[in-house]
């Protein structure tokens, strides 16, 4: 009877042989200028395999790996094999468009085995599963972000994507950045700031890229143009051959070509609905009450501005959660639906031809558009108006058509909330003018406009008190001039980041938003109606009590929530004009 040691040696030898076989298949693909796939890591779809009967697939050494209507991707061992070529010709005579990829003999054998497997055992296309037990063990083993590097250097290529995602979940990262050069650089965006995590050999890059493209429903043979996609991460629990889905996290993927390779960014969505409370947004108590009153108005336009990743959509979701009531009809139009909220109808726009793209998701089911056109924000907005909603959320106002429909909706009995890319709250007025909105309509439609940024929270366990030097303290006082502050700044302790296991050695843990909000009063309405310059509107808003982004940030630093360095990172140096 073989010993455990002998089995391990045998397994290692077998793995070496498989690796050599895959390397040979990859070399063959390069010579023939065809894509290469390793089916040890590629998700095989048992449903599309049946396009070619098993016996014919075995004889022709060819399997179907992916199908989208008339477009299919096949894996083949030898593209010059006569039986293989005959099968490809037969597929093309059936009206199918065939994309060829090279696979190894072992990969072919693995795919053929799936003909005999139950469909439920096949890896899911568009989904990646991570077992909860493995994730818990990973979290117990890794205490700090800096410890992840050794982990990535000790795993196989087949485990790479799952480990990258597990590391991101452990670090509570918002983005994963995979950047190839002489080697692959891995970075996580943790609490809004990119952190170097690890690097690993470039030989793992192609298999990783191909797997991500397949999961995200992208074209694996396209390398010279950008592609966008998405997949779902499932945290699962296995028990008695049954799989229970514990949690699902949506991932948005962006792949961008560069000089020689393609850079990958994976954005992780899926904050829990329980966090989407208006009370948890970090709004100052008086401002919070004013906003609660304003969003209960039956009509008008509410805009939240800021760059990508500044938390705009999270804030709007918190507003919707506050308004969510059986008596109120709320419909959202998003790209994509980032958070699911029970009781709200959530639609998703389509940026592809809707005849071949995924269904447009709605919280209560699925819709499939039937036209050949894109399903845009403007089209969706017109459609949902026929359902007579009380509140409408438009994910983003991107163009003139969407802006005009949103304004008209807010003027005809609907409360419309949306986001816009602008530097600050008052700049959103000029942005809407640029979209062709008339000053009179905008003056009537406006409820309140706001801007926000995210800053990192100091770790409460290891933050260190200090007294800033006089130059810095004077700059703080100058920026807060005119605001009522209860604390004596001269004797006040501020805080700097420390380092501990709780914050994984970063000194910060979590994020909080800083805001500026200006509401419409008679003066503001008059200035907008007269198409007044942004600077004059800003002066009027400040005179009416608007606190700027930097001021709100400094007040949070005064309260020990964040650091002066964080506020300068986000809003610029205190001695300079606020950006």
**Helix, strand or coil for residue 347?**
strand
Please state whether the peptide bond connecting residue 194 to the residue before it is cis, i.e. omega within 30 degrees of 0.
no
- Average pLDDT of the residues in 6-19: 69
Q: Are residues 295 and 366 in the same domain?
A: yes
| pLDDT at residue 333 in the model | 92
CA–CA dist 332, 316 (Å, integer): 11
Give yes or no: residues 327 and 432 share one domain: yes
The average pLDDT across 311-316 equals: 92
What's the pLDDT tens digit per position in 190-205? Answer: 988 999 988 877 878 8
Report d(CA 18, CA 29) in Å as an integer: 16
If asked whether residues 87 and 103 sit together in one domain, one would say: yes
Q: Which pLDDT does position 504 carry in this prediction? A: 84
Per-residue model confidence (pLDDT) at position 546: 96
Q: What is the CB neighbour count within 10 angstroms for residue 185?
A: 16
Q: Is 45 helix (H, G, I), strand (E, B) or coil?
A: coil
- Mean residue pLDDT of the chain comes to 85
Question: Do 103 and 248 belong together in one domain?
Answer: no
The C-alpha atoms of residue 392 and residue 376 are separated, in whole angstroms, by 15
pLDDT-derived band at 356 (thresholds 50, 70, 90) equals very low
Q: What is the pLDDT of residue 11?
A: 66
User: Cβ atoms within 10 A of the Cβ of 224, count?
Assistant: 6
Q: Is residue 573 part of a domain?
A: yes
CA dist 291 → 316, 317, 330, 466, 559 (Å): 12, 14, 18, 35, 22
Q: At what angle do helices 160-171 and 132-141 cross, to 10 degrees?
A: 60
Residue matched to tokens 């290891």: 462
How many distinct structural domains can be found in the chain?
4
Average pLDDT of span 182-188: 90
Query: Which tens digits make up the pLDDT trace of 76-94?
Result: 999 999 989 988 988 887 7
Within a domain: 189: yes
Give whole-number Cα distances, 273 to 105, 321, 341, 372, in Å.
47, 9, 7, 35
Q: What residues form DSSP beta bridges with 235? A: 130, 247
- Full domain range(s) for residue 87: 17-121
Predicted local confidence at residue 407, as pLDDT = 96
Across the range 532-544, mean pLDDT stands at: 95
Q: Which H/E stretch holds residue 169?
A: helix 160-171
For residue 299, being part of any structural domain is answered with yes
Same domain, yes or no: 322 and 434: yes
CATH assignment at residue 333: 3.40.50.300
Cα 530 to chain centroid, rounded: 39
Q: Does residue 219 fall inside a structural domain? A: yes
- Pair (418, 528) in one structural domain: yes
Percent of the chain with pLDDT strictly greater than 90 = 49
Residue 1 has pLDDT above 80, yes or no: no
Same domain, 201 and 144: yes
With cut-offs at 50, 70 and 90, classify the pLDDT of residue 215: confident
pLDDT reading at 283 higher than 80: yes
Which range, 1-5, 69-73, 86-90, 559-563, has the best average confidence (pLDDT)?
Answer: 559-563
* Both structure tokens of 392: 């409408």
State the Cα–Cα distance between residues 305 and 310, nearest whole angstrom.
Answer: 9
Backbone angles phi, psi at 545, to 5 degrees: 110, 10
pLDDT digits (tens, 9 = 90+) for 230-272: 888 988 888 776 778 888 888 999 999 988 889 999 999 864 4
Highest-pLDDT range among 51-55, 86-90, 525-529: 525-529
Q: What is the C-alpha separation between 256 and 564, in angstroms, rounded?
A: 35
For residue 398, being part of any structural domain is answered with: yes
Residue 434 lies in a domain: yes
**Statement: residue 101 has pLDDT above 50:** yes
Residue bearing tokens 């009995």: 413
In this structure, the answer to whether residues 535 and 558 fall within a common structural domain is no
pLDDT for the residue 355: 39
Residue 10 domain-assigned (yes or no): no
Q: What's the pLDDT score for residue 207?
A: 82
Does a structural domain hold residue 12? Answer: no
The rounded distance, in Å, linking the Cα atoms of 374 and 319 is 29
The domain boundary, picked from 198, 233, 268, lies at 268
CB within 8 Å of 527: residues ≥ 6 apart = 536, 537, 540
pLDDT at 366: 34
SS3 content of the chain, % helix, strand, coil (to 5): 40, 25, 35
Q: What is the pLDDT of residue 104?
A: 93
pLDDT > 90? residue 312: yes
Q: How many residues does the chain have?
A: 579
Residue 89's domain is classified under what CATH number? 3.30.300.160
- Is 83 found in the same domain as 139? no
Q: Which of 243, 268, 293 is the last residue of a domain?
A: 268
pLDDT tens profile 68-80 = 777 889 999 999 9
| Closest to 511 measured CA to CA, from 288, 189, 37 | 189
Please tell me the predicted confidence (pLDDT) of residue 198: 86
3-state secondary structure of 166: helix
Distance between CA 30 and CA 485 in Å, rounded? 67
CA distance 572 to 566: 9
H-helix or E-strand spanning residue 313:
helix 312-323
Cα→Cα distances 410→295, 389, 445, Å: 13, 11, 6
H/E element, 557: helix 549-558
Last residue of a domain, one of 247, 268, 289: 268
pLDDT of residue 158: 66
Segment 459-473 mean pLDDT = 94
Which of 228-232, 466-470, 541-545 is predicted with the least confidence, judged by mean pLDDT?
228-232
Measured between alpha carbons, how far is 162 from 213 in angstroms, rounded to an integer?
15
Instruction: Pick the closest to residue 192 from 464, 453, 396 (CA basis).
Output: 453
Question: Domain check: are 291 and 351 in the same one?
Answer: yes
| 552 conformational bin, left if phi > 0, alpha if psi -120 to 50, beta if neither | alpha
Task: Please state whether the predicted TM-score (pTM) of the whole model is above 0.75.
Answer: no
State whether 331 and 228 are in the same domain. no
Note the pLDDT of residue 117: 54
CATH number for position 226: 3.30.450.90
Rounded Cα distance between 199 and 194, Å, is 14
Judge residue 214's burial from the number of C-beta atoms within 10 Å of its C-beta, 0-12 exposed, 13-18 middle, 19 or more buried.
buried
Stretch (H or E) spanning 305: strand 300-305
Number of H helices, E strands in the chain: 20, 21
Sign of CA dihedral 205, 206, 209, 214: negative
Please write the tens of the pLDDT for every residue from 120-165.
444 445 788 888 888 888 777 776 767 776 776 666 666 788 889 9
Average pLDDT over residues 203-226: 86
Residues 354 and 451 in one domain: yes
Instruction: Give percent of the chain with pLDDT exceeding 70.
Output: 88
């Amino acid at each position: 009877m073989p010993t455990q040691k002998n089995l391990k040696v045998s397994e290692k030898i077998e793995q070496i042989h498989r690796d050599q076989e895959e390397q040979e298949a990859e070399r063959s693909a390069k010579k023939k200028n065809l894509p290469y796939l390793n089916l040890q890591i590629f998700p095989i779809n048992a449903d599309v395999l049946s396009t070619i009967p098993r016996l014919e697939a075995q004889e022709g050494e060819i399997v179907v790996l992916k199908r989208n209507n008339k477009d299919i991707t096949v894996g083949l061992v030898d593209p010059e094999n006569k039986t293989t070529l005959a099968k490809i010709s037969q597929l093309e005579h059936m009206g199918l468009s065939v994309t060829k990829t090279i696979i190894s003999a072992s990969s072919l054998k693995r795919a053929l085995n799936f003909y005999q497997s139950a469909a439920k055992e096949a890896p899911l296309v568009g989904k990646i599963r991570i077992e909860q037990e493995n994730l818990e063990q990973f979290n117990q083993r890794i205490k700090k972000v800096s410890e992840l590097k050794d982990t990535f250097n000790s795993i196989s290529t087949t485990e790479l994507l799952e480990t990258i995602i597990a590391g991101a979940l452990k670090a509570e990262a918002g983005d994963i950045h995979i950047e190839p050069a002489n080697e692959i650089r891995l970075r996580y965006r943790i609490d809004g700031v990119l952190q170097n995590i690890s690097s690993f050999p470039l030989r793992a890059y192609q298999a990783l890229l191909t797997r991500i493209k397949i999961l995200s429903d992208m074209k694996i043979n396209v390398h010279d143009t950008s592609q966008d996609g998405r997949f779902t991460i499932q945290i699962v629990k296995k028990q008695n051959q049954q799989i229970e889905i514990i949690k699902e996290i949506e991932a948005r993927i962006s792949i961008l070509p560069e000089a020689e390779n393609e850079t990958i960014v994976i954005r992780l969505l899926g904050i829990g609905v329980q966090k989407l409370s208006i009370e948890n947004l970090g709004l100052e108590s008086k401002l919070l009450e004013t906003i609660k009153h304003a969003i209960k108005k039956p009509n008008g336009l509410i805009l939240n501005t800021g760059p990508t990743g500044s938390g705009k959509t999270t804030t709007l979701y918190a507003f919707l959660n506050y308004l969510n009531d059986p008596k109120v009809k709320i419909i959202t139009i998003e790209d994509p639906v980032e958070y699911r909220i029970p009781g709200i109808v959530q639609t998703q726009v389509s940026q592809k031809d809707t005849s071949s793209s995924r269904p447009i998701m709605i919280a209560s089911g699925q819709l499939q558009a039937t036209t050949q056109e894109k399903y845009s924000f403007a089209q969706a907005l017109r459609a949902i108006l026929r359902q007579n909603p009380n509140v409408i959320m438009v994910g983003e106002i991107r163009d003139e058509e969407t802006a005009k429909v949103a304004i008209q909706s807010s003027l005809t009995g609907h409360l419309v909330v949306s986001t816009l890319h602008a530097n600050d709250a008052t700049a959103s007025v000029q942005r809407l003018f640029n979209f062709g909105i008339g000053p009179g309509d905008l003056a009537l439609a406006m409820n309140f406009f706001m801007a926000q940024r995210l800053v990192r929270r100091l770790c409460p366990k290891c933050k260190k008190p200090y007294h800033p030097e006089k130059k810095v303290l004077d700059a703080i006082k100058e920026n807060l001039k005119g605001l009522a502050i209860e604390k004596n700044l001269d004797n006040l302790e501020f805080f700097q980041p420390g380092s501990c296991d709780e914050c994984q050695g970063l000194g910060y843990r979590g994020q909080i938003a800083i805001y500026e909000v200006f509401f419409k009063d008679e003066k503001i309405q008059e200035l907008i109606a007269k198409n007044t310059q942004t600077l004059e509107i800003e002066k009027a808003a400040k005179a009416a009590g608007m606190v700027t982004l930097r001021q709100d940030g400094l007040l949070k630093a005064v309260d020990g929530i964040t650091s002066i360095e964080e506020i300068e990172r986000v809003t610029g140096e205190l001695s300079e004009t606020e950006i």
